[in-house]
Amino acid sequence: MDSILDGDVQTVFENKDLVDSSTIVDQDRIYGRDEQLAAEARAFRDTLDGERPPDLLLYGPSGTGKTLTVKAVANKVKERAQESGIEFDFVAVNFKTMESHTLDRAVWKLGHQTARKAGVVWDVPRSGVSTDMKYTRLYEIVDDHFDSLVFILDEIDALTGSTGADEPAYSRLLYSLSRVMSEQHVDTQLSTVVVTNYPKFRENLDSRTDSSYNPNGIHFSDYDANELIEILERRRDAFKQDALEDGVIEIVAAYGAQNEGDARRAIDLLRDAGEIANRAGDPVVTQDHVRSANDSVVKNRVLEIVGGMSVQKKLSLYAAALVAKENEGAAPSPVVYDIYKILCEGSDMEIYTQETVNSHINKAGTYGVLESERVSGGFKSGVHLVFKFTEPVGAVLDTLREDERLQEIPAKELVEVVKRRLRD
């Protein structure tokens, strides 16, 4: 214990922050995003001329460098602005991580983060104060402490607000922020950078917001395996010299490419492999460490998603996973429902309708476990759903089997039924 607390332990890391995907890195460590960096730099250049930068919309899949690049550029502009005596800064908020996705909580969070950047106390409670008063205090801080400020609004589509509202909360937030200068709430040059995986969120904007919010769009595409190798190579110095076995970066990149070119996941995976090596007391990170880290990541991600499901949802998903495992990852809903009924009969559980079972399975789709599409199987099968798993089916099954109620199900016999039903 004392040796651990004193730091007297072997480690493969030289600078662990470099393999923390939340670390803001210099532009020379960013690969494959020259076009996007240039577009962001051109936009932010207006700050140095005393003008308001245009609003930006950064869109593309997860882990493709959207937040990474804009923070790197904003950091560089902040340095240049300080040299010129311009009080410039940026405030980044990820709305997906908030415990409540309401407009009121979003404004409170923006105020809290802005106060931190300004070095003042955010003296507004979370509740008991109107949203308008939160806006007022936010604008006071902005006006008193900044010549120019950029709000980086990450995962903005998560800001949905209350059910049944006329428009999503993000629409109302963008409307207010897009008009803050024209309505003379502040003299500060205030801009927004919206970061999203789903550019179609604009389809739900209120007409007033759509009219006043006109960002410059910058697209980010998936990384391929070769680009991920370059990205990881530029963070090799996170590890001690010779602490990475040959082929480690390549296998991490391959896993990242399987995850839709997600650089953030690849960087996190490389760090996790290093931590596994440390726990084992190994001086070198090996490909086996990477495989162990990936297995753990996949299992933990699936466990987080399906672990809290009700037993009926688990039975529905279990039936779909059993079918998909024997059918190259695809599970036709008629076969799934047959297996589900067998599972219910064997577990002495109530049998729900096929429509309900399909709904339960589609619920897992909202968490990224699978996707569904409606297909026509001809006169015999008619139109039905086909579920296609985006997470490894084996990991889903292993996680579901941790539920004691599913452990008694005779899996081998059921697999034979699945095969026979698929042939029919």
The reply to whether 68 sits in an annotated binding site is yes
Question: What's the token pair of residue 182?
Answer: 């024209």
Identify the bridge partners of residue 56 per DSSP, sorted by sequence position: 193, 216
Partners of residue 151 on adjacent β-strands: 91, 192
| Of 400, 418, 405, the residue nearest 335 (C-alpha) | 418
For residue 421, count CB atoms less than 10 angstroms from its CB and return exposed for 0-12, middle for 13-18, buried for 19 or more. middle
Q: Distance (Å, rounded) from C-alpha 203 to C-alpha 195?
A: 16
Nearest to 32 by CA among 219, 217, 255, 228: 228
The reply to whether 65 sits in an annotated binding site is yes
Residue 161 marked as a ligand binder: no
Residue 174, annotated as binding a ligand: no
64 assigned to a ligand binding site: yes
- Hey, which residues does 219 pair with through a beta bridge? 59
List the one residue out of 216, 286, 185, 250 whose CA is nearest residue 54: 216
Reading the block at residue 218, the tokens are 């910058």
- For residue 235, say whether it is annotated as part of any ligand binding site: yes
Cα–Cα distance measured from residue 90 to residue 57, given in angstroms and rounded to the nearest whole number:
15
CA distance linking residue 82 with residue 23, whole number of Å: 22
Rounded to whole angstroms, how far apart are CA atoms 195 and 273?
29
3-class secondary-structure state, position 93: strand
Burial (0-12, 13-18, 19+ Cβ within 10 Å), 9: exposed
* Residue 70 to residue 56: CA distance in whole angstroms: 10
At 93, the amino acid letter reads V
Q: Which amino acid is at 325?
A: K
Output the DSSP codes for 284-331.
SB-HHHHHHHHHHHHHHHHHHHHTT--HHHHHHHHHHHHHHHTTTTEE
Nearest residue to 84 (alpha-carbon basis) of 126, 45, 128, 137 = 45
Say which DSSP state 164 is in: T
- Feature table: binding site for ATP: 64-68, 223, 235
* Numbered residues of the known binding site: 64-68, 223, 235
